[in-house]
Amino acid sequence: MQFIDLAAQQKRIVNDVTARMKKVLDHGAYIQGPEVKELEKELSAYVGTDHAVACSSGTDALLLALMAMGVGPGDAVFTTPFTFIATAEVVSLLGAVPVFVDVDPVTYNMSPEALETAISALASGDPAKHPLPAPCKPGKGDKVAWMGGACPVKPKAVIAVDLFGLPADYDAINAVAARHGLVVIEDGAQSFGGEYKGRKACSLAKVGCTSFFPAKPLGCYGDGGMVFTDDLNLTEIMRSIRVHGQGGHKYDNVRIGINGRLDTLQAAILLSKFLVFPDEVERRQAVAKRYAEGVAASGLYVVPTVPAGYRSVWAQYTLAVKKAGQRDQVLAHLKDQGIPTAIYYPKPLHRQDAFAHLGYKAGDFPVSDDVCDRVFSVPMHPYLEAGEQNKIIAALLSWKPAA
Ligand SMILES: *Cc1c(COP(=O)(O)O)cnc(C)c1O
């Protein structure tokens, strides 16, 4: 049994993929070929934004967005600690400071109330109100400066994450951000194809970023990503940054940029995969429904909740045990039955060594700290057959909590 079965999908699309790859080999425009523009056009129409910028990964999509907004040293960027490292990594890479905000215990997405509290704690330099990163806490020797009560980093942006494919609460998050003059980025690396109040994921904030890593809902056969926005000015800056800060011509450089392009071959593969994508989104809904119907009534696990007006694209189907100590037992039991599982994420970002310099500690974000000890994901992909899925459900139901 596969955790994510990419082979079943490939079997379905192999002829079209091969034909499109052959076409690229024939025209030879491996960099910025016509397929890249075509993909940008198709996917921005699907998502419902005016513009799209294809790029080399989901990480670079976030990087392009932050760079285009001028995020750098002295800036604070609010995001959650219950996400993949890339979300906050790009903030640090630019010399800005991630300010973590806890997640909602039901959706696992950024809590708008916690965001409001974090912003006001930062403004008043009060770590008693909300855990703040090291530059904002009183340290040895800076007592006097500290008494001024201001944190040396200024609120600049918010990166909300659509975890496991479920959009965050953008009406609330955008409203909090707007009140404080902050710009919002949607990390839709897992949510391309999801919906929020009739709008598509990746169109829900000023800028939406997604990833085409093979295991994401829309994946290519390598690395890839895309940025979506209605803002033409940001789009032009991101297009320039994508190619070394290019100006009017190839060897005219007007800003510091990166090599962040999407390969033409990957764009061709994505065009092919996009043909079956809407059908795959429906199949994912059916799989999720079978899990919920099979598992929820047992009371053994917390099953995912999709609030009214939301649609998850189910990048992962993530259950939680009721007590932290139970997860190892469940995973061992499922392994015995031949069921593959994964843990997204076993450790929240505020406890990662990479962010030790921020000075956060265990317990700073109690919801994230707690769910990291309880969640586990079971096989989820559009081609999971009912028979196979029934085996997974039976294995989940046959686990007995130790007395
Ligand atoms: C996968 C992922 C990324 C990074 O995407 P890559 O294409 O792997 O660089 C960023 N944020 C989240 C939430 C992700 O799941």
Q: How high is the pLDDT of residue 402?
A: 82
Q: With bands split at pLDDT 50, 70 and 90, how would you rate the model's confidence at 147?
A: very low
Q: Across 169-248, where does the E strand assignment appear?
A: 183-187, 195-196, 199-200, 207-211, 225-229
Q: Report whether pLDDT(65) > 70.
A: yes
For the chain, the average pLDDT equals 95
Which CATH number among 1.10.3210.10, 3.40.50.920, 3.40.50.2300, 3.90.1150.10 corresponds to the domain 277-398?
Answer: 3.90.1150.10
Angle between the 6-27 and 264-295 helix axes, to the nearest 10 degrees?
170
> 391 near 378, Cβ under 8 Å?
no
**Ligand 1 atom closest to Cα of residue 213:** 7
For the chain, the farthest-separated pair of C-alpha atoms sits apart, in whole angstroms, at: 70
CA distance 113 to 130: 12
pLDDT tens, residue by residue, 236-290: 999 999 999 999 898 999 999 999 999 999 999 999 999 999 999 999 999 999 9
CA distances from 377 to 107, 380, 384 (A): 15, 8, 14
pLDDT at residue number 250: 86
Pocket-testing residue among 185, 213, 266, ligand 1, by greatest number of atoms within 8 A of Cβ? 213
Determine the residue type at 314: W
3-state secondary structure of 82: coil
Give the residue-averaged pLDDT of 200-210. 98
Torsion angle, CA of 280/284/286/288, rounded to 10 degrees?
180
Pocket of ligand 1 (CB under 6 A): 57-59, 83-84, 86-87, 161, 187, 189-190, 211, 213, 223, 225
Q: Is the confidence at residue 148, as pLDDT, over 60?
A: no
Average pLDDT, integer, range 68-96: 97
Q: What is the pLDDT of residue 351?
A: 98
Dig out the tokens for 25 from the structure: 């080999």
Rounded Cα gap, residues 381 and 95, in angstroms? 37
Q: Are 160 and 110 in contact (CB under 8 A)?
A: yes
Determine the distance separating the centroid of ligand 1 and the alpha carbon of 59, expressed in angstroms: 6
Q: Which of 50, 242, 202, 43 is nearest to 35 (CA)?
A: 43
Tokens of 310: 């939301």
Query: Domain map of the chain by residue range?
Result: 6-274, 277-398
Do the bridges between strand 75-79 and strand 97-100 make them parallel or antiparallel, or are there none, so unpaired? Answer: parallel
Residues 161-186 have a mean pLDDT of 98
Token pair for 308: 């009214």
Atom of ligand 1 nearest to the CA of 212: 7
Q: What is the pLDDT, as a whole number, of residue 149? A: 63
Whose C-alpha lies nearest to ligand 1, atom 1?
189
3-class secondary-structure state, position 99 = strand
Ligand 1 centroid, distance to 296 Cα (angstroms): 29
Q: What is the pLDDT of residue 395?
A: 98
Question: What pLDDT is attached to residue 138?
Answer: 74
Residues 6+ apart with CB under 8 A from 142: none
Q: How confident is residue 137, by pLDDT bands cut at 50, 70 and 90?
A: confident
User: Ligand 1 center to residue 55 CA distance, Å?
Assistant: 13
Pick from 56, 60, 77, 87 the residue to mutate for probing ligand 1's pocket: most ligand atoms within 8 Å of its CB: 87
- Band of the pLDDT at 142, cuts 50, 70, 90? low
Residue 125 in this model has a pLDDT that exceeds 50: yes
Query: Which of 161, 58, 157, 159 minimizes the C-alpha distance to 109?
Result: 161
Structure tokens at 327: 């997860």
Average pLDDT over residues 384-391: 97
Segment 303-317 shows an average pLDDT of 98
Residue 64 has pLDDT above 70, yes or no: yes
Q: Does residue 341 surpass a pLDDT of 60? A: yes
How crowded is residue 115: how many other Cβ atoms within 10 Å of its Cβ? Answer: 26
Pocket test for ligand 1, best of 59, 79, 82, 163 (most atoms within 8 A of CB): 59
Give residue 371's pLDDT: 98
The model scores a pTM over 0.85: yes
Residue nearest to atom 6 of ligand 1 (CA): 58
The ligand 1 atom nearest the CA atom of 315: 15
Instruction: Examine the pLDDT at 15 and tell me if it is beyond 60.
Output: yes
Given the DSSP bridges, would you call strands 154-161 and 75-79 parallel, antiparallel or unpaired? parallel
What is the reported pLDDT for 146?
Answer: 52
Q: Rounded to whole angstroms, how far apart are CA atoms 101 and 112?
A: 9
pLDDT exceeding 90 applies to what percent of the chain? 92
Domain 6-274 annotated CATH 3.40.50.11030: no
Q: Measured in angstroms, how far is the CA atom of residue 204 from the centroid of ligand 1?
A: 17
pLDDT surpasses 50 at 294: yes
Q: What is the mean pLDDT of residues 20-40?
A: 98
